[in-house]
Amino acid sequence: MDFFRSGRMLRQLNHTIIALVPKSEHSPSVADYRPISCCNVIYKVITKIIADRLSPALMQLVDSSQAAFVGGRNITDNIFLAQEMVRQYSRKRISPRCTINVDLRKAFDSVSWTFLSRVLHGGIERLPAWTFPGKKGLRQGDPMSPALFLLCMEYFSRLIKRSTTNSDFNFHPKCEKLKITHLLFADDLMLFSRGDLPSIRILMECLQEFRDVSGLAVNNAKSNIFTAGIQNDTLDESPCHDRFC
């Protein structure tokens, strides 16, 4: 294992064959396939060792809002908390509140390598017919990918926590004491705020800034906004009305 002494690896070990796995029985377009990386065995052994060594540190590095891929955390805790947050949304008389359910479009495949590098510095018998260099994305099938993705999402957690210190932001009811602004389920997000335009606008600006730096964009078709106690005209002026409604 010279790699752990020198930090160098044969370039060939870092090559991978991408297998396109259809998401459904009928997959007419490229978007309907999931790219799975068939990595070299030696490479996977190395990254598995690194991932296992990194795992204990994730508890301190990754914000408590993220429940996926972190040892000692249970994703059902976030599910129960999210259910409690929206439990009273059907009541007629209720203080204004807003929950945005965000799906990131092709999250693992869209992470900018430049962004990932900045985050990390801050903290066969038949050969394929042709190859190409990558510029973005995490290999699905690589033991290191979940940990690297968590570190990318940690940037978003710190971004939104910094942005919500803005005096224009108001917390979702019953959330101010615990400073709850978001919950993360790996690449799925739930954002919470009071149901007023300045607060919702700040959340949307965070999503926009995160997209600009990381390459991770919101999948509008699979994202939703849930509100309660908000007048229709106020909701119409919301920056996410045209995207999610």
Examine residue 116 and state whether it is found in any structural domain, yes or no. yes
- Residue 238: pLDDT over 50: yes
Burial bucket for residue 79 (CB in 10 Å: 0-12, 13-18, 19+): middle
Q: Looking at residue 16, what is its pLDDT? A: 84
Q: Which range, of 3-7, 52-56, 79-83, 223-227, averages the lowest pLDDT? A: 3-7
Q: Looking at residue 76, what is its pLDDT? A: 92
Examine residue 9 and state whether it is found in any structural domain, yes or no. no
More confident site: 3 or 103: 103
CA distance 224 to 228: 14
- Residue 79: pLDDT over 90: yes
Domain count, the chain: 1
Confidence of residue 172 (pLDDT cuts 50, 70, 90): very high
Domain of residue 208: give its range.
63-244
Q: Looking at residue 217, what is its pLDDT? A: 93
Q: Calculate mean pLDDT across residues 221-242.
A: 76
- Residue 7: pLDDT over 90: no
Examine residue 16 and state whether it is found in any structural domain, yes or no. no
How does pLDDT run across 181-193, given as a tens digit for each residue?
999 998 899 999 9
Backbone angles phi, psi at 180, to 5 degrees: -85, 120
Examine residue 2 and state whether it is found in any structural domain, yes or no. no
What are the residues whose beta carbons fall under 8 Å from the beta carbon of 5, sequence distance 6 or more?
none
Q: Calculate mean pLDDT across residues 224-244.
A: 72
Examine residue 91 and state whether it is found in any structural domain, yes or no. yes
Instruction: Count CB atoms within 10 A of the CB of residue 105.
Output: 18
Examine residue 40 and state whether it is found in any structural domain, yes or no. no
CA distance 27 to 39: 24
Examine residue 72 and state whether it is found in any structural domain, yes or no. yes
Please tell me the total number of residues recorded for the chain in this structure: 245
How does pLDDT run across 94-135, given as a tens digit for each residue?
899 999 999 998 888 888 888 888 888 876 334 344 444 555
What are the residues whose beta carbons fall under 8 Å from the beta carbon of 240, sequence distance 6 or more?
100, 200, 203, 204, 225
How far is Cα of residue 123 from the mean position of the Cα atoms in its chain?
18
Examine residue 41 and state whether it is found in any structural domain, yes or no. no
**Residue at token pair 């949307």:** 204
Tokens of 186: 């790996």
Q: Calculate mean pLDDT across residues 211-237.
A: 84
How does pLDDT run across 144-155, given as a tens digit for each residue?
888 889 988 999
Among the listed residues 209, 237, 221, 217, the one whose alpha carbon sits nearest the alpha carbon of residue 98: 237
Strands of the sheet with 97-103, listed across from one edge? 182-185, 188-194, 97-103, 224-228
